[in-house]
Structure 1
């Protein structure tokens, strides 16, 4: 899985960079924000997070074009682009137009009560929304469409890192929800509870790392993370204690296609950071996940 915009291969294992956690309660829409960011903030405020589904990819390998749908509440819009990011951008732009949320220096995203949109039912958590709390945004794709026009059945695949689940339904929305439910169940088994109160854990905002002068963080900025036989789990533990966040490791039952063990390292930062690791043993997978997390923290702490 890749994360667009990161400068190194190690950083492409990051799962959560676009997490909805950490947003301001009443965010302002500034001209510098992209339609994707504006729509995400609107969804966070109203309780209906946008969900992007890749409908299809067309053209030759050197000239691919993509079609993405975005659904937010009762609004569904389509975007086309020469990259996945561009197609998502266009879809979000179209949704903003329907919702009449044009970017502007004085524009405020409305409260749910202000525009008649009710927040997601408290007693019936939406699995699509749950997957977007503290994880890298999942990617949905329609992999099958069968049946006569009056009785269609859709199959949607939900992918997160090396995990994949499929769901079926009489509409794309139902199939998407079914796939998200299966993925949420799998992730709950991995980490105990997806919807636990993060406020009870010690946290640190990622942007605060850029100004930190802690000894461990300063050493991380200076030194390369390529020394053989390094205990990266211990390094991460020492760094987390210094900077005031927690690290939790979750073993994945499924092996990779190469027969290696898998692990997720979760940092209680804001936004939450989740990194993936593999290895010939559980401890090796933990060490690899810690290495990836350290690489990400180093990038964030060194960003200008």
Structure 2
């Protein structure tokens, strides 16, 4: 799509923009194409979904291509920033749908890449993740109480939020608070992985143990053949190399409480299907991580060699 008519990230126009779109911008000068399209999607029940198709060019002159799908309409846009490309895509969709922006009014909702949030500047992150999963066809977010600690009058709950291959952990004085905080951290992580406030991250498919058994790649073959009892081995690095080769992700969670022997504790979570969680201990956090990675590698070795 031509960028000759590019004005600013707040309002992208193109040389061949229709009269209808121009009229929309004049009647709603403060609304961007993304906002207008989202309001239409909220009202019609078909929220727009944005996907980054391409990122190229030099660092000083990047070029992004985004697609947007709303109902049966699929459009693309190109621009020097992710936001500009999304505006172009949204504007193209508005042109096809022939939407009069002045007729679209949804005052109680606000936009977060097709995800409904509260308008009081405190987004309902639990709801955002729920709707995001439904909208994208992902598995629903899973919340697990990892640990309860503290005296009865001052309990602390540790909750894990899992979203596809990602995990986040949070602590709160109630399960509800810990769940909400974990969801907020997950939303922040998704935005960080997307490189912007609007979530465009696409999950990797979960790796099944059947795939590991059938793989003949270098690292998994070495894991099957060699012992895992060599002193001073960096098991974290071995796990990192294996995860990159096999396409799964590893997340380490530090447990605040020490063991009865005064050692640090850690959980290593692997984005296999089903999800694998292994425990580790050590005289330091890094040693606990290494021990958890060792346990996880041992488990993968068993699962990758068993028939």
For normalisation by structure 2, the TM-score amounts to 0.38
Which structure has more RCO (C-alpha within 8 Å, separation ≥ 6)? 1
Q: Point out the structure with max Rg over C-alpha.
A: 2
For normalisation by structure 1, the TM-score amounts to 0.38
